[in-house]
Amino acid sequence: MSFFRSVLLASLISLLAAVLLLFLGFSMGYEEFRGGYAVITVDASIEDKSLRSILDTSSYYYIGEPICESSQWVLVDGFDSFQRIPLDDYSSRIFSFDPRNDGYADKLRTVFVRDGKRFVYLPLMAGNWNSSKLDKNFNDMLKDIPFTVDYYGIGRPLALFFIVYCAASVILLILCYINRRVHRSIVNIIPMIPVLSSLGFFGASGIGCAALLFGLFILLKEPLNELVNPAVPAVKGFEQRLIQLYKEIILPYRYYWLFLPVFFIAFAILIIFSPLALSFLLIISAASFAVFFFSLKIVSLSGIEHKRFNPVTIIRRRFPVFVFPIYILPFVIGAFLTIFFSPYMSGNINTNKKFDHILSEQDYYSHVTYQASFSRRQMGSNSSDFPSFYFGSDGLPLMGVASTRQNINLNDFPPFPLKGLIDFFSYVNSGEKTDTGEYTGNPTSGIAENMSLLVLIVFLLPGLIMKNYEYIMTKTNFATVRTPRK
């Protein structure tokens, strides 16, 4: 088998593994959501506060407090100040004939109670959630309370993620071709491109994780090649093999192995502060290591009548030569570009249902304006203007209307508390894509994920610091001369 065919075979094996991993990712719900809502529906006779206390327990799948009747409030002019009255206490404190009752509370309540049903809205955390996991979670919490639940999610722009990954991969191939004479064995990294593609499910953090794995494989290529294709024939006996392993692989490449914790710390940071799923990452890592070992073995054995000569460095380096930064750079740049462009990409609403939200933001600000001007309004009239008398051109008194309106600064009042919820369901009802799809239930939920990607910059620094390292080492740090593999 020729060298080209051996690389092609390894790439085809990697492509098969990639197809299986992509299918697994879709089946496990790793297509991700940028947020959304779970709408719990129960009978209206269920007390809202008790239901809220049950749902307010810690949950991995949603973020923030449940949005329900008892969590909302209504502004009321208390004459000397404005009061926030809880929505579920409003009818017992403000009677229907009270002139301060402007009808807003009734409209607001229909968002949570109507047609004999009570609705509770749970803002879902951005990440890899699916309905089966959420169903189990709600069954465990609500137990004997009959309920139904509907899910409304904003899908992440998977097309953007995979396009960025493919573009970075093409640049990687170009770099491998340009440096083919300088870094001859870098060809072993090419079969890794397909198998790592499923990390695109996780957006910027997934592409960043792919950069780390590429860097790890490039760094460990030499010692792993020695492990797969030993230069010295294997000895008999378990203890003797351990000694041989120590002398031939562990000791000569000790600084390579000592650099591994840096990669593991970076992986841990990405897993903790991003939506990367540890179980899926372990599966991808295992598959990529298997493909990498296979590519090392098949490339070294490429040849029909004889084994292909596999060159071995005759100068044993004391420190690793960091060549991986230039090859992972396209993926690092791609990860940060994904962060920048993701908020501007539209996201599909993942549901086939409609929702009658009834309330609008204008209803709230009309309510605020009414309460702010209530003390100056004419009783028994919706107008804030009072009658006034003036003399006409004929000298006779005439009755007109004198405006007593004052400018009301809406910034002095709380913003519309249901803006995120109402805007979201407006998109649901219109059947359109969201403009940004950025809503996650918490405006700061993406900061930790984005900040964690700064760890990738650490892996670009060796390429600058160690630029002339290889030349220096060949002049000053000669070590044991090794026998070339026959």
φ, ψ of residue 301 in degrees (nearest 5): -100, 5
pLDDT band at 238 (very low <50, low <70, confident <90, very high): low
The predicted pLDDT at position 202 comes to: 84
What's the whole-number mean pLDDT along residues 398-402?
A: 57
Q: What is the helix, strand, coil percentage profile of the chain, to 5?
A: 50, 10, 35
Coil, strand or helix at 100: coil
The single residue listed with the structure tokens 């020695």 is 226
pLDDT band at 113 (very low <50, low <70, confident <90, very high): very high
Question: What value, to the nearest 5°, has the Cα angle with vertex 153 and ends 148 and 157?
Answer: 160
Strand partners of residue 82? 77
Identify the DSSP state of 434: B
Q: Which of these ranges, 122-131, 275-284, 398-407, has the smallest mean pLDDT? A: 398-407
The predicted pLDDT at position 169 comes to: 94
pLDDT at 76 over 90: no
Identify the DSSP state of 353: -
For 336, other C-beta atoms within 10 Å of its C-beta total: 17
Identify the DSSP state of 468: T
The single residue listed with the structure tokens 């049903």 is 117
The predicted pLDDT at position 34 comes to: 64
- Average model confidence (pLDDT) across the chain: 76
pLDDT band at 171 (very low <50, low <70, confident <90, very high): very high
Structure tokens at 314: 């005759």
Query: Averaging pLDDT over each range in 285-294, 354-363, 470-479, which range is the top one?
Result: 285-294
More reliable by pLDDT, 189 or 386: 189
- Enumerate residues 6+ apart whose C-beta is below 8 A from 223: 249, 252, 253, 256, 257
Residue 262, class by beta-carbon neighbours within 10 Å (0-12 exposed, 13-18 middle, 19+ buried)? middle
pLDDT band at 37 (very low <50, low <70, confident <90, very high): confident
**Report field, pTM of the whole predicted structure over 0.85:** no
* 194 touches 15 (CB < 8 A): yes
* 151 touches 354 (CB < 8 A): no
For 191, other C-beta atoms within 10 Å of its C-beta total: 27
pLDDT tens-digit map of 245-295: 666 667 767 777 787 888 999 999 988 887 788 888 899 999 998 888 888
The predicted pLDDT at position 390 comes to: 57
pLDDT tens-digit map of 299-331: 655 543 344 444 555 555 555 566 788 889 999
